[in-house]
Amino acid sequence: MGEHNNPVPVVAIVVAAGSGSRLGAAVPKALVPVAGVPLVTRAIERLAEGGVGEVIVVVPAAEREAFVEVLASAPVPVIWVDGGAERQDSVANGLAALPDLDEADAEGQVVLVHDAARAFVPAEVVARVIEAVRAGADAVVPAVPVSDTVRELTDTGSVVVDRARLRAVQTPQGFRRGLLEDAHAALYETRMTVTDDAAAAEYIGCDVVLVEGSRDAFKVTDPFDLVVAEAIAARGEPA
Ligand SMILES: Nc1ccn([C@@H]2O[C@H](COP(=O)(O)OP(=O)(O)OP(=O)(O)O)[C@@H](O)[C@H]2O)c(=O)n1
Ligand SMILES: C[C@](O)(CO)[C@H](O)COP(=O)(O)O
């Protein structure tokens, strides 16, 4: 860490540039309200509560004004960035907008990547991810056991998979900034695509550490999920 009075804040790249085609709402998914509060607002509140000091919010370019309006009273400073065609592109745009720091601070800064769609992530999960990065992990992923029996399709039919060895991957995922920048640069160079940032880190040889996630951190994807989201909002904080 370089010389300074203030510690380097934990920054979160909140990807909110998806359209939410499976949800089918009239507005981008991240702006959809649950109990009157948009998903992106909820996500940022949870991140701030868990220890994030600054957010880069990646939004559909044409909708930026609407996002600025709903986040006018965000609990942490917001940097705005336009999204890309795929989630991976949106994360890369977010990374490119990270504030300048001196080299040592930038290398060690904790960067989280979070889906706005995982709006109900408990603050404890956010804090757990940050703590694991600070403790030295390369790439940190909150994950939960899989409750269904799972079958994998084969050329001839399907086979059952040992679910005790499966974990469903959530966000926020945590990294040291330098490492995540290197990972996305490598993906860009080789035109490789991944569906999460831990896979990007793995692509450049990093180990992925799993920490306990939460069912509350589920990704709002289709209309059924909105019913669950409303129920969680009505229930309040997890016990
Ligand atoms: N080009 C994209 C695509 C997705 N996302 C974000 O990545 C997260 C996870 O994506 P998903 O839940 O699949 O969202 P959508 O792509 O919007 O959903 P759909 O596939 O139903 O359109 C979301 O917070 C979404 O806003 C993004 O920032 N930029
Ligand atoms: C990053 C992620 O939330 C991990 O589960 C997920 O991969 C993103 O969803 P997508 O549908 O692949 O964009």
Residue 221 CA to ligand 1 center (angstroms) comes to 9
Q: In sequence order, what DSSP letters do the residues of 6-52 get, joined into one string?
A: SPPPPEEEEE-----TTTT-SS-GGG-EETTEEHHHHHHHHHHHHT-
Number of H helices, E strands in the chain: 8, 12
pLDDT in tens, 40-66: 999 999 999 999 999 999 999 999 999
Q: pLDDT per residue over 115-165, tens digit each? A: 999 999 999 999 999 999 999 999 999 999 999 999 999 999 999 999 999
User: From atom 25 of ligand 1, which residue's Cα is the shortest distance away?
Assistant: 18
Its ipTM equals: 0.98
Look up the pTM and report it.
0.96
Residues whose CB is less than 8 angstroms from the CB of residue 116 and which lie 6 or more positions away in sequence, other chains included: 14, 15, 16, 29, 30, 39, 40, 43, 57
Q: Does the CB atom of residue 225 touch ligand 1 within 6 A?
A: no
pLDDT of residue 236: 83
What class does CATH assign to 11-235?
A: alpha beta
Domain residue limits, the chain:
11-235
